[in-house]
Amino acid sequence: MENEIRRKPRILCLHSFRTSGRIFQMMISRWPENVTGELDLVFADAPFPAEGKSDVEGIYDPPYFEWFKSDKEFKEFYDFEKCLNYLEDFMLTHGPFDGVLGFSQGATLAAALPGMQKEGVALSKVPTIKFLIIISGGKFGGAKFGLPKLAARAFSSPVNCPSLHIIAGEDADKMLQFITKYHCMKSRI
């Protein structure tokens, strides 16, 4: 047992709106080594090319991607099932994964995955997601976002998946209600 090699948790990383896995990897590389060195981070590009201007143009080079397509108000979603199928294929090819780390649009998607997996509408061919790290995420079906049909029951009951939520000061009040949807034995807010 002494000579056993400890496996780092393998984490699927989902980037923000109109960025890329490469850009997210560059952002995460600024984190302390004593954090990133303990994790096996795998960065995916979203399946859809960006359909508009990226907020990071001039800072980071293209290409830019989106996890899902929607109208301008983010109330109606298109090709959401293609996104979920793409993620499952990516996880089958590059996994198994222990957890998911998402930022912004990637965090909104990541937050819904355990509930959709529990309901049997997504990720049925991959192991259960063990934990989430959500950075500046939103919630499908909340005040800001519409609700893709496949995510309709993702938050219908508490999600029994440990999660860490990293939010900015101005997002704190909005996110408190969202965080309470997550349930784990030793949760702290």
Q: What does the domain layout of the chain look like in residue ranges?
A: 10-179
Mean pLDDT of 132-141: 88
- Model confidence at 56: pLDDT above 90: yes
CATH of 10-179, one of 3.40.50.1820, 2.30.38.10, 3.10.290.10, 3.30.70.580: 3.40.50.1820
Confidence of residue 157 (pLDDT cuts 50, 70, 90): confident
- pLDDT of 184: 43
**CA-based max dimension of the chain:** 56
Q: What percent of the chain lies above the pLDDT cut of 70?
A: 86
| Residue pLDDT, tens place only, 13-22 | 999 999 999 9
pTM of the entire predicted model: 0.85
3-state helix, strand, coil in the chain (%, to 5): 30, 20, 50
- pLDDT of 183: 42
Mean pLDDT of 119-135: 95
- pLDDT of 3: 64
Edge-to-edge strand order for the sheet containing 99-103?
Answer: 40-44, 10-14, 99-103, 131-135, 163-166
- Model confidence at 177: pLDDT above 60: no
Confidence of residue 87 (pLDDT cuts 50, 70, 90): very high
- Model confidence at 171: pLDDT above 50: yes
Mean pLDDT of 99-108: 95
- Positive or negative CA dihedral for 107, 85, 13, 112? positive
- Model confidence at 84: pLDDT above 60: yes
- pLDDT of 170: 57
* Strand, coil or helix: 10: strand
- pLDDT of 139: 81
- pLDDT of 141: 80
